[in-house]
């Protein structure tokens, strides 16, 4: 595989002397190389490089109009830093100054004129072997990056599925449709975007809000599934689901679960301070909690539960209008109404 690639490697030969170009071509033919472009005009280097996409460049140092040092600078500007593309300098100047300048300019090796045919083939072959190994390494790294991206994508999908399943556990016993959490998530995300939140923040709220009632798993069925109104004691026990949910989600390092904890704890707080569990008021209530408060209220009222019949959408929207500045943040009510109107 390596030998075949080396024989088919693409050359770019640049030397202002036609004799040198012809000699190098003959050497390449006899060595079994098959693919090259050549020129005696250094001003054509730029276009020829783009057209031929060479694997190795054979470059004369002393040329008219554009010398090899200028050509080296041009070539290195076109070769990405992470790519190894060898440049083999052709020169009759064996001074240490010329070699140092060429090496500093990006040359990889030297061929001294007049050419020794065996040396030409050996130096070219060694440089191409390095080029081949570098390309293999790049290809391997690219494959690894693709695999990492694939696994990362799978983990992201798994994370979102787990979030959805966790959200569904909270509604499993008292939501006939088993879609309440997802509807609250979608509506909360829409409200967040309507408020002008950055896309990343709106998405976090959309993903986190389905966990708003996860604390219900700690509420006994005798209360959660009770038809009709709660007694005062039952309602007090029902209210503990906010703190239970926050405790379940506490301590996570993931931003989405950190937001979910805030939502679980605060989505029953009221703008006027009469909510629970902490009686927070106004902007002291975290924004995510204020957003989910409306989304949860709207969806809960417009769908049947064991303890109530469904309201119409019109009745629910009218009630939210009435609760503007009391139960709900006025700005969020306005954003919600714009969504409903659309």
Q: In what order do the strands lie in the sheet with 109-112?
A: 35-39, 10-14, 56-60, 87-91, 109-112
pLDDT at 223 over 90: no
Cα angle 52, 132, 136 (rounded to 5 degrees) comes to 110
| CATH number of the domain that residue 17 is part of | 3.40.50.2300
Please provide the DSSP assignment of 175-236 as one string.
-SSS-HHHHHHHHHHHHHHHTT--HHHHHHHHHHGGGTTGGGGGS-HHHHT--SPPPHHHHH
Q: What is the pTM of this model?
A: 0.61
Regarding whether 21 and 113 lie in a shared domain, the answer is yes
Q: Report the domain count for the chain.
A: 2
Cβ(56)–Cβ(78) below 8 Å: no
Regarding whether 93 and 55 lie in a shared domain, the answer is yes
User: Over the stretch 110-153, which tens digit does the pLDDT of each residue have?
Assistant: 988 888 999 999 999 999 999 999 999 999 988 999 899 888 88
pLDDT at 323 over 90: yes
Q: Check residue 20 and give its pLDDT.
A: 93
3-state DSSP call for residue 130? helix
pLDDT at 317 over 80: yes
The single-letter DSSP state of residue 43 is: G
| CATH number of the domain that residue 208 is part of | 1.10.3210.10
Q: Which of 290, 306, 286 is nearest to 180 (CA)?
A: 306
Q: What are phi and psi of 32, to 5 degrees?
A: 95, 10
User: Over the stretch 10-55, which tens digit does the pLDDT of each residue have?
Assistant: 999 999 999 999 999 999 999 999 899 999 999 999 999 999 999 9
124 exposed, middle or buried (CB, 10 Å; 0-12, 13-18, 19+)?
buried
Q: Check residue 211 and give its pLDDT.
A: 92
Cβ-defined contacts of 92-100 (< 8 Å, 24+)? 92/62, 93/61, 93/62, 98/61
Cβ(43)–Cβ(68) below 8 Å: no
Regarding whether 175 and 124 lie in a shared domain, the answer is no
Q: Is 95 part of any domain?
A: yes
Q: How far is CA 235 from CA 96, 152, 280, 334, in A?
A: 91, 44, 19, 30
pLDDT at 166 over 80: no
Q: Tell me which residue range forms the domain holding 50.
A: 2-139
Confidence at 161, pLDDT banded by 50, 70, 90 = confident
Q: Is 146 part of any domain?
A: no
Regarding whether 109 and 23 lie in a shared domain, the answer is yes
């Amino acid at each position: 595989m390596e030998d075949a690639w080396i024989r088919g490697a693409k050359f770019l030969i640049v030397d202002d002397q036609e004799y040198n170009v012809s000699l190098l071509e003959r050497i390449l033919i006899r060595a079994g190389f098959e693919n090259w472009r050549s020129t005696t005009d250094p001003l054509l280097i730029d276009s020829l490089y783009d057209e031929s996409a060479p694997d190795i460049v054979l470059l004369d140092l002393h040329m008219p109009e554009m010398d090899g040092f200028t050509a080296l600078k041009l070539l290195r500007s076109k070769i990405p830093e992470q790519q190894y593309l060898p440049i083999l300098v052709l020169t009759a100047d064996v001074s240490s100054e010329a070699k140092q300048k060429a090496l500093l300019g990006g040359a990889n090796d030297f061929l001294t004129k007049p050419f020794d045919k065996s040396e030409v083939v050996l130096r070219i072959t060694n440089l191409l072997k390095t080029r081949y190994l570098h390309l293999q390494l790049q290809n391997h790294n690219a494959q690894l990056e693709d695999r990492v991206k694939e696994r990362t994508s799978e983990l992201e999908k798994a994370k979102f599925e787990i979030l959805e399943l966790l959200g569904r556990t909270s509604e499993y016993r008292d939501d006939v449709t088993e879609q309440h959490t997802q509807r609250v998530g979608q509506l909360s995300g829409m409200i967040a975007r309507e408020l002008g939140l950055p896309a990343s923040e709106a998405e976090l709220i959309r993903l986190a809000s389905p966990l708003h009632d996860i604390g219900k798993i700690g509420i006994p069925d005798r209360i959660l599934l009770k038809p009709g109104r709660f007694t005062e004691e039952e309602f007090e026990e029902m209210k503990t689901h906010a703190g239970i949910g926050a405790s379940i989600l506490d301590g996570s390092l993931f931003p989405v679960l950190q937001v979910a904890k805030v939502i679980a704890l605060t989505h029953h707080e009221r703008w006027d301070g009469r909510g629970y569990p902490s009686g927070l008021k106004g902007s002291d209530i975290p924004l995510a909690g204020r957003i989910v408060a409306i989304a949860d209220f709207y969806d809960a009222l417009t769908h049947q539960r064991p303890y109530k019949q469904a309201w119409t959408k019109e009745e629910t929207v009218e009630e939210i209008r009435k609760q503007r500045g009391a139960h709900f943040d006025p700005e969020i009510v306005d954003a919600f109404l714009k969504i409903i109107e659309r």
